Amino acid sequence: MSAIFFVHIVGNSEISLWGMDGRTRLERMLRTIKTAIVVEEEEISQLTGTDPVLLLRADYLFDSRVINALMALREPVVLVAPLDEIPVAILTDGKNAAAMREVLNEKRLVPDDLSICTLKDLPIQVQQNLKKKDPPYVLPMLRCNQLELESELFAASYKGVTDLVTKWLWPWPAFMVTRLCVRLGLKPNHVTLLSLVLAVLAGVAFWYGAFGIGLMMAWLMTFLDTVDGKLARVTLTSSKLGDVLDHGLDIIHPPLWYLAWGVGLMATATPVANLELLVWLMFIGYVGGRLCEGAFQFWLASFDIFIWCKVDSFHRLITARRNPNLILLTAGWMADRPDIGFILVVSWHLLSTLFLIYRLFAAWQSRSQNGVLHSWMENIDPVRDRQQLAVRVFIRQPLSQRYIKPVSDGQ
């Protein structure tokens, strides 16, 4: 069983990011860590020398991975910010917690008997859930960098390896709509429910051959599907119900859309022959692809197949998922040949699944011969390896390379 960690938050921020001040943001982050217990100043005196305590400054923006990495350490240590080398977090015990709190609260010099570490010293791994390896960050929350920090939080909420539409088309409009949702007080589940309604309406429109209207609702639904996830991550308001609704909807609705499109074709001037066979092939391709992904992660590795090798990450940009398939359907409709769009979707499902079967077999061979599989991202340095195309496409430039230290008012 993991040891209980007592966490004390020192001070607060002068600004809010995505509707939350620094203290509220840290409190929400810590709620997701089962072993963390937040204690207030008056409770520190009740802790003992055997109680591990993590002190965090609330006027700094912490990457959640940094907090987890600090809690994994066993020896007392001080984490200093990479830009100004000010102490921002201290790992200590209950006996020394009150004194160390003053070090953070008054920005005092670090005691000589404490080790100092930086972000480079922390064991930060590949983010399996977001299929990426972004460098960690700890940054001061100031009015002069508020917009930049909100942009950073939004970018950090994105998956590194995803389809080309989500990666390159949606980010800017999704940022603006996510900001609007925060101002209006909308929750991620509100956006997810609207996505569900649009998914159903798009399917109905496809079924009756109203492909143009259906495509408009389908594209809006896919856009909102991006927004709800980003809204949940930047505001730290994810819920089990929302997660089930979001992921369940993502899995169920795409093949039903394609089925409805095929049925809708039968009432147009360009019906497809052998519709039943094509529908079966589509379902075989769709389910087969999902099974390949599941088999890889269940039997062969602890990570997603799309971050195993670079070719797999590039394949994810165009693999037979909803957004690339919507491009094919839209192209067919714009060419006044919705039947061709449907046939292309079926064919692309089969081709993508065949490629996944090949990659699954290659992974099985590699594991049999070389042992444990590793993601290509594990040994990548975002700065050193920036000349590699895959690094530029799938791994963001370190924030330290993009962030300019603010100038004080006296300069």
Average pLDDT over residues 368-386: 90
Give residue 135's Cα distance to chain centre: 14
Q: How confident is the model at residue 327 (pLDDT cuts 50, 70, 90)?
A: very high
User: Which of 76, 106, 121 represents a domain boundary (last residue)?
Assistant: 121
Radius of gyration over alpha carbons of the chain, in Å? Answer: 25
- Which range marks the domain in which residue 64 is found? 5-121
Task: Report if residue 73 sits inside a domain.
Answer: yes
Q: Are residues 91 and 43 in the same domain?
A: yes
217, 234, 198, 370: which is closest to 300 by C-alpha?
370
Side chain identity at residue 209, one-letter code = G
pLDDT attached to residue 404: 43
Average pLDDT over residues 390-394: 93
Q: What percent of the chain has pLDDT over 90?
A: 66
pLDDT digits 0-9 by tens, 211-246: 999 999 999 999 999 999 999 999 998 777 777 777
Q: How far apart are CA 76 and CA 93, in angstroms?
A: 8
pTM: 0.88
Give residue 237's Cα distance to chain centre: 14
CA angle centred on 150, ends 147 and 153, rounded to 5°: 150
User: Which of 72, 105, 121 represents a domain boundary (last residue)?
Assistant: 121
Residue 39 pLDDT greater than 90, yes or no: yes
**Residue the block writes with tokens 């077999």:** 361
8 Å CB contact between 17 and 146:
yes
CA distances from 104 to 28, 54, 248 (A): 21, 11, 44
Task: Report if residue 392 sits inside a domain.
Answer: no
CATH classification of the domain holding 236: 1.20.120.1760
Q: Are residues 181 and 329 in the same domain?
A: yes
pLDDT digits 0-9 by tens, 142-163: 988 899 899 989 988 888 899 9
Q: How far apart are CA 69 and CA 280, in angstroms?
A: 48
